[in-house]
Amino acid sequence: MTVSIIDSNRNLRRFCRCHSIQSQIRGMIIFLCIRQTSRPRKPDMEYMNHKPEDGPKSQGYHFAPIGTIHSPFRQPEGTPIQPSRARGAKGTVSLEAAFQQGLRDIEGFERIWLIYYFHEAPPGQLLVRPFLDTTPRGVFSTRSPARPTPLGMSAVRLLGVHDDCLEVADIDVVDGTPLLDIKPYVPEFDSYPGSKAGWFDESSSQMQHADDRFHLENNRKREI
């Protein structure tokens, strides 16, 4: 079942319940992955290789997902590159039972921030070629998913709150992405119209969907 065929609150609640067990299993797996990759690593100036043993001995910071993001997009290639270019694509956010109380009062916000782990991204790179440019750029001046600390954020439209699920639109996230946090979008805090946007101000690209440049599986094939 995909989010495109959810046509009633009853179906949406059933959709959320059927994913709850899968979400718990996926959450346990992702927790182990994040735990292994979140320790400090010695940076390579051309390629960040995600090997914990290369970093200094440290306990690091360990994060467990609080839920899972569901969308119609099964792989990075073809996924919208930003919510503003998602053309209203719909999805759901399922929350683990332990965190459901934290959704209280969220229905009053038109948009929310989803903060998540790029589980399908390749190892971090310090120079990347972003989707909307042909020139290599420093990763911290881009929204590339291939980051030293692979965290993503999306300001999506909140359509509804149903038990342990949120119904959202303008989703630009791969299906099954582990959710780390939710924050309300507040225009006074999050919007600064007229701000300079560096190289992006000179970009004329109309690209809507991602290609395969940051797909983990494709990067693995290239290394073989």
Select the more confidently predicted residue: 92 or 212. 92
Superfamily of domain 3-53+60-223: YaeB-like (2.40.30.70)
This prediction has a pTM of: 0.69
Select the more confidently predicted residue: 184 or 24. 184
Q: What's the mean per-residue pLDDT of the chain?
A: 76
Select the more confidently predicted residue: 66 or 8. 66
Across 6-24, average pLDDT:
45
**What percentage of the chain exceeds 70 in pLDDT?**
64
Select the more confidently predicted residue: 131 or 180. 180
- Please give the backbone phi and psi of residue 65, each rounded to the nearest 5 degrees, phi first: -60, 145
For the chain, which residues make up each domain, given as ranges?
Answer: 3-53+60-223
Would you state the structure tokens that stand for residue 191, as one six-digit string? 């919007």
Residue 25: pLDDT band with limits 50, 70, 90: very low
Across 92-98, average pLDDT:
96
Select the more confidently predicted residue: 34 or 176. 176
Residue 42: pLDDT band with limits 50, 70, 90: very low
